[in-house]
Amino acid sequence: MAKTEPKGVKSGFVRHLTPRDVDFAQWYTDVVTLTDLCDYAPVRGCMVVKPYGTAIWERIKEEMDSRFKATGHENVMMPMLIPENLLLKEAEHVEGFAPEVAWVTQGGKEVLQEKLAIRPTSEVLFSVMYAKWLQSWRDLPLLYNQWCSVMRWEKTTRPFLRTAEFWWQEGHTLHETAEEAQEETMRMLDIYRQVCEDVLAMPVYSGHKSDSEKFAGAVATYSIEAMMQDGKSLQAGTTHNFGDNFTKAYEISFLARDGKLTHPFGTSWGTSTRLIGALIMAHGDERGLKLPPQIAPYQVVVVPVAQHKEGVVEGAKAVADALVKAGIRVKFDSRDTVSPGFKFNDWELKGVPVRLEIGPRDLAANQAVCVRRDTYEKTTVSLDGIADAMKALLAAIQSDMYDTAKGFMDAHTETVTSFDRLKEVVQGGFAKAMWCGEAGCEDAIKAESGAGTRNMPFDQTPFDDHCVHCGKPAKHVMYFAKAY
């Protein structure tokens, strides 16, 4: 991660962001830096997530975790170190992660006889423990999840999108039958879709990954793919059906209903802090973050204006307190070291959905000035029933932000039947095309267009009979796009 200094500051509060259409990557870095989401750690490729970024992640965790628990999952905590001999048991899994594994070779002054891997993921740890815990079919299903950080020694890093250490959740489950494992894989994919669309206001394409793109050791991998404002795809979550690959490799068995020892079927699924990067790139603009109300740490910021005048701070604070009492997440900004204009800019930069400005004239008129972050629409709102008015406005903003993102995604997704057109579309969007299913063709498409396979939609109704690239008989409908 190369450190980029913030752009110049004008008049004490006006911060400049690189325009998205000039340099989207630099705009993203500017937003991350200026909104105080994270900072660069002294360890190469790592980040320190600051309070505001952590607050957003906590909101994502709350939304995810409540859905996990509602479907019967429980949280556990596993160690971060994995003995080398255990990691080597599942050959395909090890081969997939080998270039990214970080190793501990010394503890204190002692050189370790066996290297310890810093977990790139925890399939191994869960498998070893499941082998101890599982006895009978009556113990199934085992539905466990953990919230933790993992380490992958990435060569190229960018805050939230790809860092050496990142925070995530990883679910690992065992099931009595292959059918139950598949149902779990699809159930969790839909939970991810719900969180992205209903909470993050970010539409996604759900589907099946190609064999080349599936998780190392999995029978099948599924993903949700979101479109960023530069037309690139961001993989927002994945679920994996492992079949009995891991349970055989790690000798996990149980006494089945017929009295015989058999291997259970496993799944794994995860999302990470890259969802914060997705929020930035799906919704942000030249004024910074634009957070959907469902995920915003603060849904409304109340700013007293001319607060040196008698009764202004008290009156504005009473409004803030009423909103808090109604269950709205509120920031009351009574700082007396900066101007109201600075505050307006600051909270726009941080993406707070609604700003209420309250000055002496507003209090006298029993009203507040209300500004929407998503549209910049400025209106006046009565202080009578203001909590109900804010709830209705926040719901409207949530819906409108989703509709805007969905409209953008629809406008930048095109069904194509020629490779020339595919190459044009993927410069700023998704191309939906027919594909032969061969890995060599998949590689050629990426080499010639810069776009990879994203996923195969569950609706596989064909619209052409030949592969968009090689002309062979088509087997799959596939989304192609450049990706983060």
Q: Is the pLDDT of residue 10 over 50?
A: no
The mean per-residue pLDDT over the stretch 76-90 comes to: 90
The mean per-residue pLDDT over the stretch 334-348 comes to: 95
Q: Is the pLDDT of residue 230 over 80?
A: yes
State phi, psi for 405 to the nearest 5 degrees.
Answer: -65, -40
Q: Which residues of 105-141 are buried (b: 16+ CB within 10 A; e: fewer)?
A: eeeeeeeeeebbbbbbbbbbbbbbbbeeebeeeeebb
Q: What is the pLDDT of residue 100?
A: 87
> Residue 71 — pLDDT band, cuts 50, 70, 90?
very high
Q: What is the pLDDT of residue 4?
A: 40
Q: What is the pLDDT of residue 9?
A: 37
> Residue 93 — pLDDT band, cuts 50, 70, 90?
low
CA pair distance 61, 55, nearest whole angstrom: 10
Q: What is the pLDDT of residues 367-418, one digit of tens each?
A: 999 999 999 999 999 999 999 999 999 999 999 999 999 999 999 999 999 9
Token pair recorded at residue 226: 């979101």
Work out the mean pLDDT of the chain and round it to a whole number. 94
Strand partners, 171: 145, 269
Closest C-alpha to 227, from 171, 273, 283? 283
The mean per-residue pLDDT over the stretch 50-66 comes to: 98
**How far is CA 401 from its chain centroid?**
17
CA pair distance 164, 48, nearest whole angstrom: 12
Closest C-alpha to 358, from 313, 324, 398? 313
Q: What is the pLDDT of residue 242?
A: 96
Q: Which domains does the chain have, with CATH numbers?
A: 9-81+127-283 (3.30.930.10), 300-394 (3.40.50.800), 413-481 (3.30.110.30)
Beta strands in 5-45 (DSSP E): 9-10, 14-15, 38-40
Q: What is the pLDDT of residue 216?
A: 84
Closest C-alpha to 481, from 409, 418, 432? 432
Q: What is the pLDDT of residues 150-178, one digit of tens each?
A: 999 988 899 999 999 999 999 999 999 99
Token pair recorded at residue 199: 């909470």
Given a contact cutoff of 8 angstroms between Cβ atoms, the answer to whether 47 and 163 are in contact is: yes
CA pair distance 18, 8, nearest whole angstrom: 11
Q: What is the pLDDT of residues 450-474, one digit of tens each?
A: 999 999 999 999 999 999 999 999 9
Given a contact cutoff of 8 angstroms between Cβ atoms, the answer to whether 191 and 185 are in contact is: no
Q: What is the pLDDT of residue 90?
A: 65
Beta strands in 365-483 (DSSP E): 367-372, 378-382, 413-415, 430-435, 452-453, 456-457, 476-481
The mean per-residue pLDDT over the stretch 14-19 comes to: 77
pTM as predicted: 0.93
The mean per-residue pLDDT over the stretch 241-260 comes to: 95
Given a contact cutoff of 8 angstroms between Cβ atoms, the answer to whether 13 and 345 are in contact is: yes
Q: What is the DSSP secondary structure assignment for residue 457, as one 8-state letter?
A: E
CA pair distance 381, 393, nearest whole angstrom: 11
Given a contact cutoff of 8 angstroms between Cβ atoms, the answer to whether 358 and 315 are in contact is: yes
CA pair distance 31, 24, nearest whole angstrom: 11
CA pair distance 305, 309, nearest whole angstrom: 9
The mean per-residue pLDDT over the stretch 243-252 comes to: 94
> Residue 15 — pLDDT band, cuts 50, 70, 90?
low
